[in-house]
Amino acid sequence: MSPVRFVVASGNRKKLVEILRVLDGLDVKLVPMTELGLDSPVEDGDTFEANALLKARAAARGSGLPAIADDSGLEVDALGGAPGVWSARYAGPDATDADNNAKLIAALANVAPADRTARFVCAAALATPDGREWVVRATMEGGIIDVPRGENGFGYDPHFVSEGATRTNAELEPAEKDARSHRGAALRALREHVAALLT
């Protein structure tokens, strides 16, 4: 039998690789939405869960395939939870990771290191063309440092050190990050629902 095709509601290649690692061993083939000519919907939800479901529903509807989506971001306590659902667009609609990180560090310029507590949040969603859907949430607690370290990961990873760690997320090897991260935890929880669709 051929693997079951799932569309991933993202064009982010690094995110796709993370999803592939967590779903390894399941008889699935992941297809990025960009390969199917699908456009991303406007992410106008006010929670990570709402945006993840919005993306998964749109991809399932547009492709006729079960769809996996996630919405992830950084919540910084000293900034009232910002950037939150705006994490990818914190410095503007066409912001790069470097732009977003620069704005974050500037916003924390007068905040003491001990008060730079933060968390990564991931809501992962699965939606089918017939209307079934699931969404799970996971977090990774930690803090923000000024000087970026590491070449792995993406987004705010070079500035984030998780609780009990000394290295940033960008200094972790992929398997280490999957085992500890918000996205890894959410996708492991979602994996059960993906597996159930294969039976």
Nearest-angstrom CA–CA distance, 47 and 111? 26
3 state SS of 30: strand
Average pLDDT over residues 18-32: 91
Q: Is the pTM of this model over 0.85?
A: yes
If one compares 150 and 179, the residue with the highest pLDDT of the two is: 150
- pLDDT at position 154, please? 87
Catalytic residue among 71, 77, 130, 157: 71
At residue 154's C-alpha, the angle toward residues 8 and 143, to 5°, is: 120
Q: How many domains does the chain divide into?
A: 1
Nearest-angstrom CA–CA distance, 84 and 81? 6
State the maximum Cα–Cα separation within the chain, in Å, rounded to a whole number: 59
CATH, residue 74: 3.90.950.10
- pLDDT at position 71, please? 94
Q: Does 71 qualify as catalytic in the annotation?
A: yes
Domain span at 119? 4-197
